[in-house]
Structure 1
Amino acid sequence: MKLAVIRERRDAEKRVAATPETVKKLIALGFTVSVEKEAGDAASMPDSLYADAGATIGKDLKAALKDADVIFSVQGLEGADAKLAKKGAAQLSVLNPFTEGERLQAYADAGLMAFAMEFVPRITRAQSMDVLSSQSNLAGYKAVLDATAEYGRALPMMMTAAGTIAPARVMVMGAGVAGLQAIATAKRLGAIVSATDVRAAAKEQVESLGGKFVMVEDEETAAAETSGGYAKEMSDEYKAKQAALIAETLAKQDIAITTALIPGRPAPKLITEDMIKSMKPGSVIVDLAVEAGGNCALSEPGKVVEAHGVKIVGHKNVPSRLAADSSALFARNLVHFITPMVKEGALAFDFEDQIIQESLITKDGAIVNERLKPQPAGEK
């Protein structure tokens, strides 16, 4: 069995899909591992570390992919490069399946068996494979640091001989994995933290981290979570009530961090321009959903902009801003995914397994995932 690790080619992507640590684990499973030249450089993992771990270094993409049965990548092969891979090879990566249909078709045409790691179901035995959680955790942490870097004041209360500095007020919008880590990080730095989410179940989690939960509670919130643990899109009536409460709360905040995402849909707009106008001069907004359309009306992908006296941070690919740690976690996720698929030194994918069924995107020349098939009229 041969496994290839390729160098990422997309803008703002510094991560790598295997580390020297996971290369050793893959070799122990029975793989020979080829790592494309300079694949780990941006994550502070030079080729020499991979070679010491037992990998061979491919001089280019074609060399790394030659005869590979499995391909590890963070964001997947580009469509034009899919033809370089062996027909039937399994690729494990994040694929953005709802928005990159042309690339998926290129995978199907090339005969790749492509798995979208973000489609791995949120079930107990798949927790160690959950790339969304591992990467979001770091993104929530980094969002607070990015906000602190732009904020012109201190976060904790400080009592000095010259007087007392009041603590900063931080609001986190969306209490998923990223949001909860942002709450915990802001609390550790001494801020007064509040948080909001459409899921009533998030209240206990927020309060356990020392945050104050802000939410309109009604009948609709009782069913605001999907079976997979994601937030559902709410009705226009609920959105209006929640927006009014948020607007009132936001005006008192120094920092807002938005994390709300809906799989397959544009990110919901949580902060309007009028809300930005109501915030104090010098306030900061960090929009972690900026690449999905943004939770903030004025955020711009890849930029820090200032509007109405408020700084709005829209860094792309925030996990990649902590490339060494995010790579380490991502690489372990992939190892946990592939390990059960190796039986007696050979690959043996169980296509009846829920994890395989839900994450498999292309197979035998076709796009096979149920979530990507056209829905009947009237369904979403």
Structure 2
Amino acid sequence: MIIGALKENKKDENRVALTPESAQLLAKLGHKCLIEKGAGVGAGFTDAEYKSAGVKVLASLGDVIKNSEALIRVNQPSSAEIKKYKAGQILITFIWPAQNPQLVKELNKKKVTALSMDMIPRISRAQKMDALSSMANIAGYRAVIEAANNFGRFFTGQITAAGRVPPAKVLVIGAGVAGLAAIGAAQGLGAVVRAFDVRPEVAEQIESMGGEFLFLDFDESGSTEGGYAAPSSPEFRKKQLECFREQAPDIDILITTALIPGRDAPKLWLKDMVAKMKPGSVIVDLAAEKGGNCDLTKPDKKIVAKNGVTVIGYTDFPSRMAKQSSSLYANNIRHLFDDLTPEKDGKVAINLEDDVIRGALVAHDGKVMFPPPAPKVKAVSTTKNKEVSDRTPEQLKTEEANAVRKAGAFQVGMLILGGMIIGLLGQYAPPAFMQHFIVFVLSCFVGFQVIWNVSHALHTPLMAVTNAISGIIVVGALLQVGSSNLVVEVLASVSVLIATINIVGGFLVTKRMLAMFQKS
């Protein structure tokens, strides 16, 4: 199939849907690539680079459309562009079908097979094609860089000869992909990071990134089946705003990322909260394109409030890092073509039974395919958690006691069986052998009992010190060093050397391992 990459027509859009690297990978799937002249310049890819990667560069948009079987781009096409499309062509781009029903009708009227990158389902297999997550990751990182650029101090705390510099305090609202990226970037710059999300299950993710999760004393989860945030109840919202008002005077940087699919962004940072913030503080609103989470946000603009708080409402954060964004987006599209080309022979197959392809499909064969059916594989499994939550503390204690009783009965049975085997051996084996054999068996039993009850995290230092203890054989070796037999003396000397390495090395490794568990 011939794939054509179009130049973006949106103002200040620097991204491109095809990179020289992704073109080479598409060629391995049996596809040929075309690109409109100058399409990659804004992202730092020259026409010469495309040519060297085997991509044919055409002079105009019309030429690319005319010579392509599939078209790829970043943003929605204009009505004038759609009129140039041919029936049966494939279009892959961000369509946002719920917000652009007229665009869907125009594409369907031209009998175009349209796949929307924003409709890729949130299932494990589709993560490599999840362009929304790719762009959100970049937006979260860039938001912190933008905040740092507009903030008048260091992010990290410092103690210098001129005095102490306190670390910046950052609050991130919304712990999706963008929020977690912002937490990681702010933490990396040395800031003290706090975060809030209506989904309490993301607390562990926030803490793993080095942030502090702000808990609400309220029994409500704002998580949908697909893992997205859901609208909050009035009571929950009241508690939420109270928490934010408490945080407002203390923080220096606020990054908001809260969005609800198919709705305008919820207003979470009100005018009175902005008024409570310190002069010089910065707000970066990543939800600006959908109206913003802050009352003062103006899309695509940076304003300064009366009290000196800077409010940034840029909607083109991924485009401000065009080279990185283009690379990730082009890889997402390449992975989608990987699924569309199951035989790797350059022939695209629209498999309506495939959850990913069907989920992204907006129009096909003159039919509107949006909205898609629910995927067969759920993004978030709730069955297991439900089963666990149904058990009472008394039931859990009973189950634990039964497990201990069962393990004890098994051990007693094994001891009886072992005793019978040893008794049987004792009838025929010589006394010297039985003495050593019984010591060996008891050592195995005691060793098993000791190791089994030690935490897995401590197994390595435990084995290291056990290795050192085994070096006690050095005593036996020293007793044999003075032997009149040359062979015995050589073997004894080698044993002393090896045992010494065991002793010294074992304790050194143990010391280093245990140091890893110390806080300081």
Aligned to 2:26, the other structure's residue is in SS state: helix
Q: Distance in 1 between matches of 2:65 and 2:76?
A: 13
Is the aligned partner of 1:244 residue 2:242? yes
In structure 2, distance between residues paired with 1:149 and 1:140: 15
Instruction: Provide the C-alpha distance between the structure 2 equivalents of 1:178 and 1:319, rounded to a whole number of angstroms.
Output: 11
Whether contact under 8 Å (1:12, 1:316) holds in the other structure is no
Matches within 5 A, 1:84-163: 84-163=84-163
CA-CA distance at 1:70 after TM superposition: 1.2
The answer to whether residue 323 in structure 2 is matched with residue 324 in structure 1 is yes
- Report if aligned partners of 2:139, 2:318 keep a CA contact under 8 Å in 1: yes
Aligned length: 370
**Paired letter, 1:65:** I
CA contact (8 A) 1:299 1:314 kept: yes
1:173/1:258 contact within 8 Å kept: yes
Which residue number corresponds to residue 299 of structure 2?
301
**Further displaced range: 58-67 or 319-328:** 58-67
Aligned residue runs from structure 1 range 235-314, under 5 A: 235-307=233-305, 308-314=307-313
Amino acid in the other structure paired with 1:49: E
Aligned partner of 1:187 in structure 2 is 187
In 2, distance between residues paired with 1:80 and 1:261? Answer: 31
Cα deviation per residue 1:31-86 (whole Å; 9 max; x = unaligned)? 12110111101000011111110011111111011142211111132222112122
Secondary structure of the 1:269 match is coil
Output the amino acid matched with 1:24: Q
Give the AA of the match of 2:103: R
Give the superposition deviation at 1:365: 2.5
Structure with larger Rg: 2
User: Do the aligned partners of residues 217 and 72 (structure 1) sit closer, same or farther apart at CA in structure 2, a change above 3 Å counting?
Assistant: farther
Which structure is higher in strand share?
1
Q: Secondary structure at the match of 2:180?
A: helix
Q: Residues of 1 paired with 2:346 and 2:294: CA distance?
A: 50
Report the residue type matching 1:340 in the other structure. Answer: D
Which amino acid in the other structure matches residue 327 of structure 1? S
| Residue deviations 1:337-356 (CA, integer Å, cap 9, x gap) | 11121133311111111111
Q: What is the one-letter code of the residue matched to 1:212? A: E
- Structure-2 separation of matches of 1:155 and 1:204: 24
Q: Name 2:491's counterpart in structure 1.
A: none
What TM-score do you get using the length of structure 2 for normalisation? 0.70
Shift of 1:103: 1.6
Structure whose residues are more often helix by fraction? 2
Corresponding position: 1:229 with 2:230 = no
Instruction: Please give the root-mean-square deviation of Cα atoms over the aligned residues, in Å.
Output: 1.3
Equivalent position amino acid for 2:313 in 1: G
Does the CA contact (< 8 Å) of 1:150 and 1:284 recur in 2? yes
Please list the CA deviations of residues 257-291 of structure 1 after superposition, one character each: whole Å capped at 9, or x if unmatched.
Answer: 00111111001111000100010111000000100
Whether the 8 Å CA contact 1:290–1:299 is kept in 2: the answer is: yes
SS of the counterpart of 1:347? coil
Distance 2:14 2:102 in 1: 24
- 1:318 partner SS: coil
Say yes or no: does 1:346 pair with 2:344.
no
Matches of 1:20 and 1:339 in 2, distance apart? 17
Query: Does structure 2 retain, via aligned residues, the 8 Å contact 1:7–1:73?
Result: yes
Q: Distance in 2 between matches of 1:217 and 1:92?
A: 45
Give the drift of 1:192: 0.5
Runs of 4 or more, structure 1, over 4 Å off, are: none
Percentage of matched positions with identical amino acids = 41
Contact 2:97 2:370 in 1 (8 A): no
Between 1 and 2, higher relative CO (CA 8 Å, sep ≥ 6) is seen in: 1
* Runs of 5+ consecutive residues of structure 2 not aligned to the other structure: 374-520
* Structure 1 residue 99, shift from structure 2 partner: 1.7
Partners of 2:72 and 2:144 lie apart in 1 by: 30
Offset from partner CA, 1:71-130 (integer Å, 9 cap, x none): 111113222211212211111111122222222211111111111111111111101000
Q: What secondary structure, in the 3-state scheme, does the structure 1 residue paired with 2:154 have?
A: coil
Q: How many Å separate the matches in 2 of 1:215 and 1:56?
A: 55
* Secondary structure of residue in 2 paired with 1:252: coil
Quote the residue 2:46 is aligned against: 46
- State the partner residue of 2:380: none
Cα 1:345–1:96 change in 2 (3 A) is closer
- Given that 2:108 and 2:368 are in contact with CA atoms closer than 8 Å, whether structure 1 keeps it comes out as yes
Equivalent runs, 1:8-47 vs 2, <5 Å: 8-47=8-47
Cα contact 2:255–2:286 (8 A) shared by 1: yes
- Three-state SS of the structure 2 residue aligned to 1:92 is strand
Deviations 1:337-378 (A, max 9, x none): 111211333111111111112111112223221269xxxxxx
The farther-off stretch of 63-72 and 175-184 is 63-72
Which amino acid is the alignment partner of residue 243 of structure 2? Answer: L
Task: Give how far 1:241 is off.
Answer: 0.9
1:60 maps to amino acid: S
Does the aligned pair in 2 maintain the 1:67–1:86 contact within 8 Å? Answer: no
Where does the alignment leave 5 or more consecutive residues of structure 1 unmatched? 373-380
Other structure's SS at 1:257 match: strand
Preserved CA contact (<8 Å) 2:44 2:323 = yes
Partner residue in 2 for 1:210:
210
Alpha-carbon deviations, 1:204-224, whole Å to 9, x = none? 111111111113243322xx2
- Aligned residue for 2:273, secondary structure, equals helix
- Contact 2:16 2:326 (8 Å CA) reproduced: yes
Q: Contact (CA 8 Å) 1:6, 1:72: kept in 2 or not?
A: yes
